[in-house]
Structure 1
Amino acid sequence: MRLEAVLIAVLGLAGGGAAAISLPQALKPAMPVHAAVTAPALMPGRVVVTPADLHQAMASGLLDRPVKTMLDVRSPLTYGEFRWDEKGVPAGPTWVRIDLKSQIISVFRSGHEIGTAVILYGAESKETPVGKFPIQAKLKDHHSATYDQAPMPYTLRLTGDGVSIHGSNVRWGYATHGCIGVPLAFAAKLFSVVKAGDDVVILPGKAPAKV
């Protein structure tokens, strides 16, 4: 589910290796008609989040800061896929929004979405925490000290006990031990644009059931 779908709904680590957990399919539907306003020619491939939608989303707590445009992703994304486009987006504050219910990560800079992907997240036995987390550390070639030295490339550590965003084999039926797993190429791009102290906001979702 895209953030646009969230908006229309309002209107009307100790981390590491994945486990074989059944997860709901994550799809990204087309932009709803009410929000499909073409962005300026300076920023092609984008749609504008209307002031009315933004007001509703912030009033409901789905957003805690303004969003100006979203990537125009009209086809569903599946596991391992992502979109990244920062052309024309000015320098400025960068933050990350993660929706566990829809299994979607969105990266914003200066109010514009520059990247989005389907994620993996924690199973019932080790759920992903929710809330706002500043990035504590960046570790490019990290391995888990808890889970048999499992590789955690492009780690962005969020909590003192190791919950992080990191590159993973994002595919159907997998979950993490509490971390946010993203496709490796996406993780590399994300790692390059954020810094320690940038905010990551994780919204709650229903944890996947054990198998």
Structure 2
Amino acid sequence: MNGRTLLAIAFVGLAAAAGGLLLARPPAKPEPASLAAAQVADAKAAAPAGVPAPQAAPAPKADEAFTIKRILPIEGAIKYGDWHWDDAGVPDGPIVITVDLDARVLSIFKGGYEIGAAAVLLGTQDKPTPTGVFPIMEKQRHHVSNLYDAEMPYMQRLTNDGITLHASQVEWGYASHGCIAMPEPFAAKVFAQTKVGDRVFITRGKMVGMGDSLVDS
């Protein structure tokens, strides 16, 4: 995807093969593929002549609000201090933030449209940034860490033990204490888009593309 990895993870499939015994008996009648199919088949058999048989209900569609409809056309890797933003013409929709620890990139999606992406600072091996799904618990425009006595503008709390999104001097390339640090102009834009309860998906190498769901695990 234009030289950068968004949300990249390796999926491992498990396959099992089952053997069968060959018996001297007539082949069994095929079983319906599902309970719904069995019910429809029974209803068709029982329906009087000339009366339309009921049809199986269509499968529910994926939530379009969380389906990826656009990825920003960014050429090459995003370097520390770099950020991109384009929300022109994007309709209202739910906000989802994704963080790929391998690519060190944060992306923000609005109704499935990527509206921003930036290189971010992350934690170290001693104080790693955790993976998982984290709702935004608290927001403060001006915040000072009571653990490290450090300013954290545009703070958005993800955990009770101090993991947050916040602005920092990302271009310096320093590591954080597990937080996700963004360039300040970008952090201000993200802060303006989010609300308490919006989800942040932190993964290591998970890859998604156009048409994929942002919220499927």
Report the TM-score when normalising by structure 1.
Answer: 0.66
**Alignment correspondent of 1:61:** none
2:167 corresponds to 1:151: no
User: Which string of whole-angstrom CA distances, capped at 9 and with x for unpartnered residues, describes residues 34-67 of structure 1?
Assistant: xxxxxxxxxxxxxxxxxxxxxxxxxxxxxxx521
Q: Give me the whole-angstrom Cα distance separating, in 1, the residues matched to 2:187 and 2:106.
A: 11
1:6 and 1:158, CA in 2 relative to 1: closer, same or farther beyond 3 A?
closer
Percentage identity across paired residues of the two chains: 45
2:200 corresponds to 1:193: no
Q: Give me the whole-angstrom Cα distance separating, in 2, the residues matched to 1:197 and 1:104.
A: 21
Q: Give me the whole-angstrom Cα distance separating, in 1, the residues matched to 2:102 and 2:5.
A: 12
**Alignment correspondent of 1:174:** 174
Count of residue correspondences? 150
**Alignment correspondent of 1:165:** 165
User: Which string of whole-angstrom CA distances, capped at 9 and with x for unpartnered residues, describes residues 86-119 of structure 1?
Assistant: 0011001001000000100100001000000001
2:130 corresponds to 1:129: yes
Report the TM-score when normalising by structure 2.
Answer: 0.64
Segments of 5+ residues of structure 2 without an aligned counterpart are 12-65, 206-217
Q: Secondary structure at the match of 2:71?
A: strand
User: Which string of whole-angstrom CA distances, capped at 9 and with x for unpartnered residues, describes residues 135-192 of structure 1?
Assistant: 0011110011001x20100001000112000001113541000100110000000000
Q: Secondary structure at the match of 2:171?
A: coil
Q: Which residue among 2, 7, 17 is the counterpart of 2:4?
A: 2
Pairwise CA RMSD: 2.2
1:36-185 equivalences in 2 (<5 Å): 65-147=66-148, 149-171=149-171, 173-185=173-185
1:137 and 1:123, CA in 2 relative to 1: closer, same or farther beyond 3 A?
same
> What letter is aligned with 1:2?
R
- Which aligned runs of 4 or more in structure 1 are off by greater than 4 angstroms? 3-7
Whose strand fraction is larger, Structure 1's or Structure 2's?
1
1:130 and 1:4, CA in 2 relative to 1: closer, same or farther beyond 3 A?
closer
